[in-house]
Chains A and B, each alone.
Chain A
């Protein structure tokens, strides 16, 4: 596992993102620069509407910048086709969402298995990976449960297990504790911190909760489409 983390993993250069609402142009990000070294745990803070999620989507290959470049581990995401982007996401990135976004009709283990369906792993190998991921988040005993029978914190742990089951280069978390109470939120943050420290995962976490950002190694602030006082810590 890579624990030293000096080489740049994510680099965002001169990125601009414009949304159109009717004839109106909304500049969400403008001329934005960001570098994230491998192995870092970065918190991305900012008020709502500041473009945190948009930036996260760009880094995760869910969207393309209007201008500028986004590269992750040497791959220029802004230049990949939809199809290649999908394949890239499957290999390199894990997502954790605020509302967990689990498939309600699948059990915990089936939810975690989803990204593995896109690999060439055999059924037995998939099951092994799923077990390992669920063990890592401490939910081995809940593998046959459906999301609706799990607590919010447990659901989010399933979400994290799904995010790391392919051993991605990058884990992107969008307000992972936003819908949880303090205690459950702390458990999730402990888990993320552990993943970063003990397993060397590079994590970018969007949050507006200072309590959460305090757990990150570095925090950047996004306001009016610009990153400010970087680094803050």
Chain B
């Protein structure tokens, strides 16, 4: 009794019987679905933290922009450049120019303590002094409320992430740093990038407030094209007057996000893997009891001439369907609960807070559902084989 059509219809009818019997074991089936949903929700949820953090960091750097630091410095925090060096850098070949001059912003980077809204405890919030080109050397920075600070005045603008996560950063209020007071005159966005975690002021004004003389910590430049980077880098690193390190913005941020992304991803996978093992046991349990409850029915079908292979496949389909239901449920829950969940964390390289939003990307959802399918297949395989192997005569006698 061969023929693929016949075989498929066998599989179809056994699967149908199985699915129809689910209401009778809804306890076990629900436990399996929710168990797998839990695995997927946790996997997707934890990885969405890493995805969100990584996105905040990588959206910030465009390939035709570069950062120059003191050589040996791994972040702006520990870097230092004199005024003369910043001029040489701005005038280097490859730097894009407009009528106002080169697109280069020499910047200062310090940290101030502000309370985190969520916990009330102090957090290291970055305060950045910038030059006029700052808005052109970065992508997508724009004022969304209020106005830009006036150059030369003690005024600041606040990134939208910082305004959301830290206390006292509303337009109209005043930021007190040491003995200085800085009115907040605007809020800016940066398409979710790291700049949104920062507070910006005029670099000159910040130099005075911090007794920095005429020194900076970094220079941000916009290049003529992504391809201009190598020439720009070579001209600076071969200049005997300078001792600097030149990196693409994109690489700089990718490197800064690497530690945390690695930590979260490692832990996330580990946790989800352990949970998945637990869920496989749960699924095995359900399918074994499904098989046990249907021993006689399956034996009867086989006595009537249904093939063992069809039994295996249809039981696997049943398990897979239960698992996919769990996967979809878990992915949906994770999306509802975590997508766009705003928070902030410490960027260890810059020693300061980065605000970001969890991102439940389509790729993560696909991954979560793939995991659920895998759990379903493993959970269904052994019980299915057992069902197909049990001697028909003995099974018929049972019960």
Direct chain A–B contact by Cβ atoms under 8 Å: no
Instruction: Identify the A interface with B (CB < 8 A).
Output: none
Instruction: Identify the B interface with A (CB < 8 A).
Output: none
